[in-house]
Amino acid sequence: MPVHCLSACLSAHLRRIAALALAFALLLPLPALAGDPGVLVLGRISDDPKAHYEQLKSLLDYVVPRMNDVGIREGRILMAKDAQQMASYLRRGRVDWVTETAGTGMMLRQRAGAKALLLTERDGTSHYHTVFFARADSDVKSLDDLHGHSVAFQRPSSTSAYFLPATELLHRGNSLELLLSPTDKLNSSVVGYVFARSELNIATWVHKRLVDVGVMSNVDWENPRRVPAAFRQDLRVIAETGDVPRALELVRSDMDPKVEARLRKVLRDAATDPEARDALQGFFQTTRFLPVDAESQRALDNLADGVSRVRSEVE
């Protein structure tokens, strides 16, 4: 093989190795930085660390220079594969600040003492709720008709498409039973459930009568990419839950109060800072950060109770 070809092949191979190493490194703890008061570590639970890294970095790069007065000189990102791993990072001081959905945030509060710092408004929406829907010609007219019928949730970590609706069903005295598939036989005394993985799948499964009822957030319900117009005319909302915060910024329980206060202020002020526009947009289409008011705190406390009940009675 010519020398120049060999060199090119080696270079391409080394680039692939470097890319894989970077993706893997994003999932690993940073032992040298753990507990360093000058480093602010932002974490997220992710199954796509490469994509989420860029979204997190945009805001972290904005925040860190504005926290020099409380000793922050550097920012790092640390991903976790699940809530259990992230809770461990928080307890051990490996992560300082986490951005998550409300349901997962309450799991981190229970497992690691994480504190809700701010509410996160995305695309102009700070709160949302769950919509239950069925086919318009279904014999399921309300949640009281669900015994012996099936429900499609999204995934086990979803707030609006799992924790909230499952809590509502348990609150009404239902027993939930996991089905092997949408066509699995169902005991008439329970509510069967399956995970459809996406909102579009949920809408499709209900429309095609593979399941009786679907759930998703009101935001997704109004999105034609989640519920196509061709489906919507055949579907009907049968129930809705109360509102909960759409997303949260959380911090570890023992964060330095001065750092916590400064982080809260920087994030709160970002919505009125022109220099933060791109950083906010890159941070999961965030429009602003809001204080945790009394009503939102009550909703989070109720959600935390629901998460505990779902985990003990359903999982």
Same domain, 117 and 152: no
Same domain, 116 and 136: no
Measuring CA to CA, which residue among 132, 130, 134 is closest to residue 210? 134
Task: Kindly report, residue by residue over 149-184, the tens digit of the pLDDT.
Answer: 999 999 999 999 999 999 999 999 999 999 999 999
Q: With respect to residue 81, please indicate whether it lies within any of the assigned structural domains.
A: yes
d(CA 229, CA 221): 11
Looking at residue 158, what DSSP letter applies? Answer: -
Q: Which of 47-51, 94-98, 140-144, 168-172 has the lowest mean pLDDT?
A: 47-51
Q: With respect to residue 14, please indicate whether it lies within any of the assigned structural domains.
A: no
Query: Can you read off the two tokens belonging to residue 99?
Result: 């951005």
Q: If you average pLDDT over residues 136-143, what whole number do you get?
A: 97
Q: Which of 7-21, 25-39, 133-147 has the lowest mean pLDDT?
A: 7-21
Query: Can you read off the two tokens belonging to residue 164?
Result: 């909230």
CATH number at residue 96: 3.40.190.10
Q: How far is CA 265 from CA 129, 193, 260, 305, in A?
A: 28, 43, 9, 29
Predicted TM-score of the model (pTM): 0.86
In the predicted model, what is the mean pLDDT of the chain?
Answer: 91
Same domain, 229 and 290: no
Same domain, 235 and 268: no
Amino acid at 228: P
Residue 187: predicted pLDDT: 86
Amino acid at 269: D
User: Is residue 174 within 8 Å of residue 125, measured between CB atoms?
Assistant: no
Task: Kindly report, residue by residue over 55-69, the tens digit of the pLDDT.
Answer: 999 999 999 999 999
Q: With respect to residue 168, please indicate whether it lies within any of the assigned structural domains.
A: yes
Q: With respect to residue 9, please indicate whether it lies within any of the assigned structural domains.
A: no
Last residue of a domain, one of 196, 226, 241: 241
pLDDT band at 35; cut points 50, 70, 90: low
Same domain, 155 and 121: no
Q: With respect to residue 21, please indicate whether it lies within any of the assigned structural domains.
A: no
Same domain, 236 and 194: yes
Same domain, 268 and 140: no
Last residue of a domain, one of 241, 259, 281: 241
Same domain, 43 and 171: no
Task: Kindly report, residue by residue over 238-288, the tens digit of the pLDDT.
Answer: 999 999 999 999 999 999 999 999 999 999 999 999 999 999 999 999 999
- For residue 179, give its domain range: 130-241
Q: With respect to residue 222, please indicate whether it lies within any of the assigned structural domains.
A: yes
Domain total in the chain: 2
Q: Is residue 28 over pLDDT 80?
A: no
Residue 124: predicted pLDDT: 97
SS3 186: coil
Measuring CA to CA, which residue among 72, 110, 58 is closest to residue 255? 72
Residue carrying structure tokens 């009394």: 294
d(CA 315, CA 311): 5
d(CA 21, CA 288): 34
Same domain, 122 and 179: no
Task: Kindly report, residue by residue over 92-104, the tens digit of the pLDDT.
Answer: 999 999 999 999 9
d(CA 88, CA 161): 26
d(CA 146, CA 153): 14
Q: With respect to residue 212, please indicate whether it lies within any of the assigned structural domains.
A: yes
Q: With respect to residue 16, please indicate whether it lies within any of the assigned structural domains.
A: no
Same domain, 62 and 106: yes
Same domain, 250 and 119: yes
Q: Is residue 33 over pLDDT 60?
A: no
Task: Count how many Cα atoms sit within 13 Å of the Cα of residue 199 in the half-sphere of its side chain.
Answer: 22
**CA angle (63, 57, 28) in 5-degree steps:** 115
Q: Which of 24-28, 44-48, 305-309 has the lowest mean pLDDT?
A: 24-28
Last residue of a domain, one of 241, 268, 301: 241
Amino acid at 193: Y
Same domain, 251 and 121: yes
